Structure formats: structure tokens, C-alpha cells
Amino acid sequence: MRLAFDIDGTLTEPLPPWDWTKVTPAQYVELYKSLKPNQEVISAVNCLYYQDIHDIWIWTSRDVYFAEVTEQWLRRNDVHYNRIFYNKLFVDILLDDKSTSSLNELERMLKRV
């Protein structure tokens, strides 16, 4: 299966409640460097990666301008993946007949080893 994981608030702990319209690129870089990893989710991603049957994608709404700091963070926090995509559309609700966002489905996959 092809599995996509968000970074901010998913692979990381929740982001601070800033006014995102006023954050400068330099502040984003410092924030992205400082975010704490969500170890539970990263362990699940790595477990799925090492099942060796999935294509693990990182899919983030971060701009590709932040690729260097983003990929350094992923390396530093030992996140294993196959591909990364930037500039994900931000939506509040996603309905997609080909996808699920169910944590139960993810847990089922982790037990399938």
C-alpha cells in the first residue's frame, strides 16, 4: 500500500498557537528545527517502512523552500520513508474514496506483520 503521513502535528507534537499569517520564513526555519517528535507515530511509520511492502510518503503542506530544514529534521528524528512531497493543499475535510484517515486501519496494518 501507499501510505502518506503529514509532518506538522502528526510526526511532530502539536504546533504552537501562532498567528501563521505573521510568521517570517526565518521564524518558520527556527520553528521547524525545534519541533519535538511524536515518537509514537514515528515508531509506527518506521514499523510500516520495515515491513518492506509499503511505499511510505511524507506529504506536507510546508513549502519546498523549507526542504532542507524539513529533511534534516526527518533524518535527526530517524524517520524512514520513500518519498517526500511538499505544498500539500490544506483542507479542513478530505473525502476520498481511495483513502482512509482511520487510525484503526493503521493499527490493523501494524498488527499484520
Give residues in contact with Mg ion (CB under 5 A). Answer: 6, 8-9
**Dihedral sign for Cα atoms in the order 24, 25, 29, 35:** positive
Name the residue nearer to Mg ion (CB basis): 8 or 71.
Answer: 8
The Cα angle at residue 93 between residues 44 and 3, in degrees rounded to 5: 30
Specify which residues 3 forms β-bridges with.
Answer: 56
Give least dist CB 8 to Mg ion, A. Answer: 4
Name the residue nearer to Mg ion (CB basis): 13 or 109.
Answer: 13
Name the residue nearer to Mg ion (CB basis): 53 or 64.
Answer: 64
Name the residue nearer to Mg ion (CB basis): 34 or 50.
Answer: 34
Give least dist CB 50 to Mg ion, A. Answer: 24
Give least dist CB 111 to Mg ion, A. Answer: 25
Give least dist CB 10 to Mg ion, A. Answer: 5
User: What gap in Å lies between CA 8 and CA 55, rounded to an integer?
Assistant: 20
